[in-house]
Amino acid sequence: MVNQALDDFMARFVAFSADHCELTSIEFDPDWPSVCYQATENSQSGDLVSWQPKVREHAADFDALNDALDIELHPSLVQFYSRYWSDNIVAKHPSGKLQILQAWNAEDFDRLQQNIVGHILMKRRLRQPETVFIALTDEEDFILSVENQTGAVMLEQVGLQPKEQISANLATFLTEIEPAVAD
């Protein structure tokens, strides 16, 4: 379900970005490679190039993270972070603007996993439900996360208990958001 909902959202993003090319323009960085870059044969460092989300050839492996934390990440999270290589994407939800987090390349994915480990360890230390972030919000220190136990999408202030449920699950959440332009 998450894969299909994410595919549908990415299709909406690609269609939306056709009228908003600034959303898919990025400075080329040869030291930060990605299959998302479009036509970079003659690109120089710093050149503006276009990019698009790309379906990953192989699902991401969360085994090391699961073993390190003695946890089983919610299947919706595994699908969410395993489906695409992409830059972060600005979107809007009835509850407000947000930025969907994704991994640009393998190194970025490793960094993402390290951040997830740090986040879960913090939640354990604070004796709070374990959550994994999926998006940033326009409100300072507020993130959208998935409760690992239930799969619900929650609004959470960093370091505090989740504040409110935004969607019953990640697949539903992905159907509720639309691509947007940054403010």
> Residue 19: which CATH number?
3.40.1580.20
Residue 171 has pLDDT above 90, yes or no: yes
Q: Given the structure tokens 């913090």, which residue do they identify?
A: 122
163 vs 137: which has the higher pLDDT: 137
Q: What is the mean pLDDT of residues 94-113?
A: 96
pTM of the prediction? 0.94
E strands, the chain, are 25-27, 48-50, 54-55, 84-85, 89-93, 96-100, 131-137, 142-147, 153-157, 162-167, 178-179
The domain total for the chain is 1
Q: What is the mean pLDDT of residues 148-154?
A: 97
Q: What is the mean pLDDT of residues 90-108?
A: 96
Q: Which domain holds residue 13?
A: 2-179
The whole-number pLDDT of residue 42 equals 81
